[in-house]
Structure 1
């Protein structure tokens, strides 16, 4: 499988001009600054005519979790809503880093998008990010009507580590049944982390030179976990969950040159074995974090269109 030529040229240029060490050689604070710099460099003209509202949800420890709600200006309510968790290995990333992604999904799906600014590690280690997600869902269940959102048509989604959070929240909802504050109608999972407990062939094949390095994954996991045993907790590695029956139908996008490819495929297989409907979108020649690459590779906008259309169909 060949790397897309334009993406290969971008990665070569980035390596040649690298003024920063790889993320795994930086402190979390330094890594966040570098990730924010990359956000500015990768910015593209994402849909600008959306209504964007800043909100907060209360966390169980009294903290305020920042949220950002996107909707199309002409949309009437109540709207279906995608609750979106950004990527960044639980250590980097923010509402701003994935603003363009949320705008594309909102504009192309017909759904509102509620982006969650969950707290990051190592200041807030596992399972704080997940608990922030739980608390935001509980808040949304009570506030949806006032916000013009339809609490019966909710999707959980995200990319990378954010997709992991969405995955776990969907499993929890299936297990809680009627006791769940919100039961998702769908999941949108873009190159999720599903198994941090072991290596895979794709981790070896694509662990260096394809944007996300295997050493950086280990750095992320070490900062997020309290102890090495946390990696074996299904809430950290959802591929290890014993039962996936009743989980919401999933739209899963996987990059062909991603260290996480094999575990993403394995999770799709587990879902299908449990009778869960899965729409799998494999993207050969592309790397991890591809949703933020529209300025490098215009074809990424076609990926946004495919994901938005799939989400719109799933949410009716």
Structure 2
């Protein structure tokens, strides 16, 4: 199959990246400038900002409830952005869609980002919020049953790492993990996965851009050989939560996500891996207005039920 025509049309309109080193402030400002006004966002029963107090510090979170309910399941959402982009605002539409389709209370995490916050600050924030949900379930409306993690791209890296941290700490509350086009191997040797070569150019995220975009995180102390940085390098995957992994046909990161799914399966983890045809990287964040890719939220809801 070829790249979805609407994705191809949008990619053709994007300007070339500016020359010179990447500037986080400029890139963040550009991303935030595309956030839609509050009045144009998907309406939900309740959306509120609060602060999660964790052992690593206070972490801003946004809590979404699609319906009025005293208690129910909770989904902790970790946004993507190569560990230095993304925010509660830029991924607000993703969290809203997850809440609406799943019926779960969604807790979106405003974790600290590189390069200002060195590794493992962002990862600690994510893990701290998961523990905060468990410890403050009554306040959030968690019924003590379903507790899911979901994330896209680098947010999915954090999902896999947090699931491993919880397992190693004996925190058994996490029931599901959802990884949208995950970045699981931050050693960007192009010979590791065929998709890094097959989808190297022309599909949005390009293989040559992986190193510079992740450099802020890696240069802050994140070691690609560490399984908490590159979760696919974890040797023992037994006992991890049931998983849903969605990949894009034309994503350079496709094969590492699918390889991770196969390793989870071999370790006895219940896992579903789905490749979305015609899609490149970022289709949940950028193209979920297309019915073919909004299906990702519907599939997530089915998985969580």
Give TM-score scaled by structure 1 length.
0.88
Q: Which residue of 1 aligns with 2:27?
A: 31
2:175 maps to which of 176, 185, 206: 185
Counterpart of 1:188 in 2: which secondary structure?
strand
Q: Which residue of 1 aligns with 2:210?
A: 217
Q: Distance between the aligned counterparts of 2:253 and 2:34, measured in 1?
A: 21
The CA deviation at 1:214 is 2.0
Report Cα offsets for 1:181-218 as digits up to 9, x if no partner.
x6211111111111112332211222222111223321
Report Cα offsets for 1:136-160 as digits up to 9, x if no partner.
1222222111221123320111100
Pairing 1:137–2:147 present: no
1:81 maps to which of 70, 74, 85: 74
Structure 2 runs not aligned, ≥5 long? none
Give TM-score scaled by structure 2 length.
0.91
Q: Which residue of 1 aligns with 2:152?
A: 159
Q: Distance between the aligned counterparts of 2:288 and 2:40, measured in 1?
A: 8
Paired residues, what number?
302
Q: Distance between the aligned counterparts of 2:277 and 2:86, measured in 1?
A: 25
Q: Which residue of 2 aligns with 1:106?
A: 99
Q: Distance between the aligned counterparts of 2:245 and 2:70, measured in 1?
A: 27
Q: How does 1:210-249 map to 2 (within 5 A)?
A: 210-226=203-219, 230-249=223-242
Report Cα offsets for 1:12-49 as digits up to 9, x if no partner.
122xxx27528x842111111122234449x9965313
- Deviates further, 134-143 or 156-165: 134-143
Q: Which residue of 2 aligns with 1:70?
A: 64
Q: Distance between the aligned counterparts of 2:289 and 2:8, measured in 1?
A: 10
* Alpha carbons of structure 1 residues 260 and 308: separation in structure 2 relative to 1, 3 Å: same
For the Cα contact (< 8 Å) 2:245–2:274, is it kept in 1? yes
Q: Distance between the aligned counterparts of 2:286 and 2:127, measured in 1?
A: 29
* Alpha carbons of structure 1 residues 221 and 295: separation in structure 2 relative to 1, 3 Å: closer
1:55 maps to which of 50, 71, 77: 50
1:116 maps to which of 109, 112, 116: 109
- Deviates further, 135-144 or 85-94: 135-144
Q: Distance between the aligned counterparts of 1:65 and 1:116, measured in 2?
A: 7
Structure with the bigger RCO (C-alpha within 8 Å, sep 6+) is 1
* Alpha carbons of structure 1 residues 140 and 296: separation in structure 2 relative to 1, 3 Å: closer
* Alpha carbons of structure 1 residues 61 and 133: separation in structure 2 relative to 1, 3 Å: closer
Report Cα offsets for 1:145-180 as digits up to 9, x if no partner.
122112332011110000110111111222222xx2
* Alpha carbons of structure 1 residues 20 and 227: separation in structure 2 relative to 1, 3 Å: closer
For the Cα contact (< 8 Å) 1:206–1:213, is it kept in 2? yes
- Deviates further, 89-98 or 135-144: 135-144
- Deviates further, 232-241 or 140-149: 140-149
Q: Distance between the aligned counterparts of 2:248 and 2:137, measured in 1?
A: 33
Pairing 1:21–2:18 present: yes
The CA deviation at 1:292 is 2.1
Counterpart of 2:174 in 1: which secondary structure?
coil
For the Cα contact (< 8 Å) 1:125–1:225, is it kept in 2? no
* Alpha carbons of structure 1 residues 264 and 19: separation in structure 2 relative to 1, 3 Å: closer
For the Cα contact (< 8 Å) 1:293–1:300, is it kept in 2? no
